[in-house]
Structure 1
């Protein structure tokens, strides 16, 4: 070897490169000015010979590099060139193949100190634009930048099809002590497979998938795919602007929950396939919903869609990102919101990018008392790490920004905000204040909601919380968590606990049916028949007692009750996908229920106001009956709901809050819904002034078994009020005349009664006088006889 070259080389640092132990390969590899020359070094383990093609102006000159180490370390001392990219390597491999490559170690870092500071502070909301793999142009050269956060390791390399998955070739530099590693590799682009190879400080070497990957390889498990940014021309600007102006507390929201996996079962998505857009739009519009909620669309484990394996990657089952964006654009142009399930509370061991990302707990808690969720075994994100929080925040904003998503539904937060959730005594450690709240997770949830709402106030933030954490839907400024809506999981559980019983035994469970209205106004609730509460139509049907007709009636009642109960609505798509025998009837019911919901403000306008709901009768447990009123802002918007959960038809006298007319506008027993057709007809039901349910007025209604009626209040018109006034005055006059007639008749009757009484009294007195005279005569006769007897007896003694 050239002695001058030998002396210029830093052999201890070269050893770092050869043994893949360094954190800054750019310090050695590439071109470095040495006096008036340029020292060029590269490490190509598979190379037999390497030549440098040095460009100077329009000319180029070839220099053969010396093999400085048999491991594949080459070096050459060349004339200095100001342009750091003025040369290429021409490589001859051991197998005789040749290739020309640009040097990846001549580029400045793409990640700046400011990026690292923001990331470690948890506020780099677009960090996904820096970390991961990004095809781009640097210094006029096309290539791909790779970056990953992997603190506390000895070395990180990017490996892929472009370097035969050899971790020695593209070793990355640590651009900041926070643990971010980066490299730009020329001539690598979209479609290439890649992952990261990490060497721990203990010397263990393992691979990790990219946590920020936008696509996953179908061929090689654990590998991601480099993708170009999706190209999309949106047509939904008017929709996005309109959603910011809507009052979330008063807007109608009826959601169809959809599993993309089930929806696309047995359907292969081609590159130009528009099936998803058309089929989804048809499903949603046909059933009358105004929003869809997708179960996780990210890449996930086949056995559990909530076990997300790549948080930034769209599931390959859906297709390319452009496909999904067109679906959302189509739905938006038809006025339909799109909500995504975002499982930001846990991840699975099958997530090869996050699980022990640097060989030890990094994205997950290291403490055994926090690391896993007891029942599922899933790992809980370490919300105490700002970088982990930043990862989740940026992921949420990525889906909202890139895909114009209208809402995110966070999975059950009770599992993260309570330290003792599902844990036995001694299985958890109190927080610094001695409580059972996970203060880090609580802060994360608040930050997530504030961050998303700050970006776009029209985005809906929804969650499920099953442990009664207070103020879930109160703003963070007022001491709450800041969600817009909360799933009312208890409502569905209590409802089915009532409906599962035979009607003969439901009276003992009546409180379970009415209990939800006791706490309804503590949060902004969303009611659901979700995939968690109930499966499809068949599963719901099987839960109902009785024969097939009774079961169908129970299903109709359940769906209708959901739609008229206070709260926003969500129904799993499986309930809408009905067997052929029931399809027409149940779909018609679903359409009419959604139409009823959107056309009548009383069913949504005052969902969160106590004035929006009024019990008429909640105490008729023995009759398995209840009735209530839904109010809107306008008095005439009032709707009356009457429910009969008994197994037989009934006729009820129902109290009403206002005098007026009531028209039946929905009856779940109607024949078009598959019922028997026991209806009150379309004629107006006139109110009568008869006390019932503590009200002055009432109506008489017929309700079929396991059925629900909705009656619309119709106030009297001015003309009708005049007619009613005339009728009332006529009625009053008639009453007065009748009172006078009754009074005259009464007096006549009293006189006749008095006359008759006098005659009877006289007759009675005469009779009594006669009887008394007769008694006196008999008495005198008896006395005379006694005297005669005494006289005779005395005369005999004298003789």
Structure 2
């Protein structure tokens, strides 16, 4: 020990170095001028001896001032003095090393202010590990943000993972630590060792690392900035003027891991170059014009959306430059590349971003905001500017450095709503007492604005399942500024409908039509994504019926997606189907895409009501739909007819225009694996009203099928001929109507005459019947009255000798001889009395007074006869 040297040393501060408790090691370590000398100090507990070699070639052995490994040397000072170390290990092996503590920080105060304000769009050029040369010395500049750490060190295979050796300097109060370590080279592994104020020590990877040891990203790897020569200038130029609303966009969602597995099974190389060839072949064979890649940054093997390193492209298939070549190859084939980007959460790990510096740093400290209920995921703290800066910069890094054409942000409902999937009492309201996460809203708006400032042609897509309004309106209009939103309502309702047996589909008809009720509230992408179907085999298994019916249902829903308003996306998956079925399905999807691209009616007016018109949406009992898709030109109109029933049907469908209608796609075509029930001839519109329209066409459809018809207007000559025929037809109809009217009038008159005759005859017969009935009952009445007269009354008349008129019997006998009484002209009846005697009686009389009068007249007549 050198006593003079010992006295010059600041031992309290040296203790900070030895015990790794400080945040400014440059105050002690390195070279410091002391009078006419220079004091050089270093802490290398991993070496047995340290020498200093000055710029003039002289070598000085450093004194071991502390057994822990603290070395010091006092050398003469000269202008332009520089030096390096020679480190000697226990075996005597010497290693040349440069002192990291002679370099000033590269991160400026301006960088810190911009970062703390969330405005440093290229912070990834400052934080992380960057290879560079300083003062002629090659090395790596390390920087990390850890504001709550008491000390941060760089550890790696270059210092035996010893956190005491390369302790970092805190740049300022922003919490950034920085250290340039000479002689570190590409490919060396490293981590950050953090020590809390409580003395707890833990390891963390580099959040800004561009390469990691493996998918876990627990250990970072030093990587040189890729130097790639792009060959897509024409693509990038035309992208700036891309029409996001009026262009056709058909995306296939795929995972590079799936293609890699197929390549591995085929004993082929699994590199980005090989994957590019496979992906491009698939995309071209199926007719898509864009791909959406599931996360390509280092992620969990099972949960692919659990990204472990946001700046590191998956290294299993190659370097960042290799992935750039993948993108370049796609652009040369006219294929747009979109990335799934998880800016809403990150996985909770013992390593990684969670509790990065011993406290909640990238996530909310409040569990009511910082965790996704029921998952192992943490929500980014959008209220912390350094965190949002991390995310903004990450998006811009991918877009600028890799020429990515778009980002699809995972479900933002979980961050926009503070109460999403939480029970009362489990969430914290915002400052106004509401359930909106105002910080997340601001982040989304700022993100979309930054991306649009970079390039108007970049696509920003999101998934949102809780109906947050105005997602695709511009920020100036009060929206969030996204270009498209997945239409999860459409995919859910359609898949639920298709799961039903056709017999029961009529009861759920509105599930197929409901999407048009809100189709224009946002700019939508119709997505049958990995979340919905998981690929063709899974989609097929959802469908009812036998194998052929399942196939028919799959073709039906895919075709419906293509003709429904909205951009398109279909998940690839790995097809577990026979070669024949696979080729038929590939052919079908290709034809769907070609039809989509060739007909502006299917995409030009997606977002305005003029692009769609129902023809028949009410035929639930028939499981039938008919509608038209329109563009800015009438002649480009398409007619779509669907038969979701399990039986073949023929429909008469109303059309908007007179002309011919040619079937351009039928899902039941034999080329697609169908039965071949198609409309193979052009159909002329007929002047027959249907669906509230003047003209109509007859259409036949196989079970579970969809047909699309293009409208072919007549030529001027055909229109003249058509007009002549229509006029003749109208005159014929008019004359037929007139003839029918005259005949009907004649019929009505004849019918009236016949009815009058029948009525008279009926009334006559009725009168006769009524008269006969009256006589019948008058007769019965007289009989019943006469029946009242008994045998006793007759005998009494005989005994008293009184005639019926009350005169004495025999009075007339004395005057003249007895004559026979003149026979009464009235009819008599024989009445059977109880005693069995037959008594002749006159016909019934209507009253007794009449009877008395008749008796008197009869008596007078008798008298006259006697005279």
Does TM-score exceed 0.5, indicating one fold? yes
Shift of 1:539: 0.9
Task: Deviation per CA, 1:81-100: give whole Å up to 9, x if none.
Answer: 4336x211111123432211
Residue 271 of structure 2 contacts residue 318 of structure 2 at CA under 8 Å; is this kept in 1? no
Tell me, in whole angstroms, the C-alpha distance in 1 between the residues paired with 2:158 and 2:238.
Answer: 47
Tell me, in whole angstroms, the C-alpha distance in 2 between the residues paired with 1:12 and 1:744.
Answer: 123
Q: Corresponding residue for 2:411?
A: 412
Tell me, in whole angstroms, the C-alpha distance in 1 between the residues paired with 2:413 and 2:362.
Answer: 19
Which of 60, 77, 80 aligns to 2:77? It is 80
Q: Corresponding residue for 1:398?
A: 397
- Judging changes above 3 Å, is the alpha-carbon distance between structure 1 residues 664 and 4 closer, same or farther for their aligned structure 2 residues? same
Within-5 A mapping of 1:369-380 = 369-380=368-379
Tell me, in whole angstroms, the C-alpha distance in 2 between the residues paired with 1:126 and 1:137.
Answer: 20
The answer for unaligned runs of 5 or more in structure 2 is 765-821, 828-857
Residue 472 of structure 2 contacts residue 480 of structure 2 at CA under 8 Å; is this kept in 1? yes
Give the secondary structure class of the aligned counterpart of 1:308. coil
Within-5 A mapping of 1:22-101 = 22-56=22-56, 60-83=57-80, 86-101=82-97
Q: Corresponding residue for 1:509?
A: 508
Q: Corresponding residue for 2:103?
A: 107
Tell me, in whole angstroms, the C-alpha distance in 2 between the residues paired with 1:624 and 1:111.
Answer: 67
Within-5 A mapping of 1:570-589 = 570-574=569-573, 578-589=577-588
Shift of 1:795: 10
Within-5 A mapping of 1:561-640 = 561-574=560-573, 578-640=577-639
Q: Corresponding residue for 1:243?
A: 239
Q: Corresponding residue for 2:778?
A: none
Give the secondary structure class of the aligned counterpart of 1:692. coil
Give the secondary structure class of the aligned counterpart of 2:22. coil
Task: Deviation per CA, 1:197-230: give whole Å up to 9, x if none.
Answer: 1111100111100101111114996211111111
Tell me, in whole angstroms, the C-alpha distance in 1 between the residues paired with 2:728 and 2:826.
Answer: 89
Give the secondary structure class of the aligned counterpart of 2:641. strand
Tell me, in whole angstroms, the C-alpha distance in 1 between the residues paired with 2:241 and 2:498.
Answer: 39
Give the secondary structure class of the aligned counterpart of 1:286. helix
- Judging changes above 3 Å, is the alpha-carbon distance between structure 1 residues 720 and 16 closer, same or farther for their aligned structure 2 residues? same
Mark the structure with the bigger radius of gyration. Answer: 2
Within-5 A mapping of 1:772-791 = 790=825
Q: Corresponding residue for 1:300?
A: 299
Shift of 1:105: 0.7
The answer for unaligned runs of 5 or more in structure 1 is 769-786
Shift of 1:791: 12
Tell me, in whole angstroms, the C-alpha distance in 2 between the residues paired with 1:511 and 1:732.
Answer: 39
Which of 708, 711, 715 aligns to 1:713? It is 711
- Judging changes above 3 Å, is the alpha-carbon distance between structure 1 residues 303 and 687 closer, same or farther for their aligned structure 2 residues? same
Residue 418 of structure 2 contacts residue 429 of structure 2 at CA under 8 Å; is this kept in 1? yes
Task: Deviation per CA, 1:522-564: give whole Å up to 9, x if none.
Answer: 0000011100011121111111111111111100101101111
Q: What is the RMSD computed on CA atoms of the aligned residues?
A: 2.7
Task: Deviation per CA, 1:731-787: give whole Å up to 9, x if none.
Answer: 45666887899999999x99x999xx99xx9xx99xx9xxxxxxxxxxxxxxxxxx9
Give the secondary structure class of the aligned counterpart of 2:538. helix
Q: Corresponding residue for 2:525?
A: 526
TM-score (normalizing by structure 1) = 0.92
Residue 119 of structure 1 contacts residue 387 of structure 1 at CA under 8 Å; is this kept in 2? yes
- Judging changes above 3 Å, is the alpha-carbon distance between structure 1 residues 796 and 610 closer, same or farther for their aligned structure 2 residues? farther
Number of residues of Structure 1 aligned to a counterpart in Structure 2: 767
Tell me, in whole angstroms, the C-alpha distance in 2 between the residues paired with 1:498 and 1:732.
Answer: 44
Which of 695, 698, 721 aligns to 2:696? It is 698
Tell me, in whole angstroms, the C-alpha distance in 1 between the residues paired with 2:624 and 2:373.
Answer: 41
Tell me, in whole angstroms, the C-alpha distance in 2 between the residues paired with 1:742 and 1:297.
Answer: 76
Residue 309 of structure 1 contacts residue 352 of structure 1 at CA under 8 Å; is this kept in 2? no
Shift of 1:367: 0.3
Which of 180, 183, 187 aligns to 1:187? It is 183
- Judging changes above 3 Å, is the alpha-carbon distance between structure 1 residues 738 and 547 closer, same or farther for their aligned structure 2 residues? closer
Tell me, in whole angstroms, the C-alpha distance in 2 between the residues paired with 1:742 and 1:489.
Answer: 56
- Judging changes above 3 Å, is the alpha-carbon distance between structure 1 residues 446 and 221 closer, same or farther for their aligned structure 2 residues? closer
Tell me, in whole angstroms, the C-alpha distance in 1 between the residues paired with 2:316 and 2:700.
Answer: 50
Q: Corresponding residue for 1:21?
A: 21
Tell me, in whole angstroms, the C-alpha distance in 1 between the residues paired with 2:142 and 2:736.
Answer: 99
Does residue 153 (structure 1) correspond to residue 149 (structure 2)? The answer is: yes
Task: Deviation per CA, 1:427-466: give whole Å up to 9, x if none.
Answer: 1111111110001111111111111111111110000000
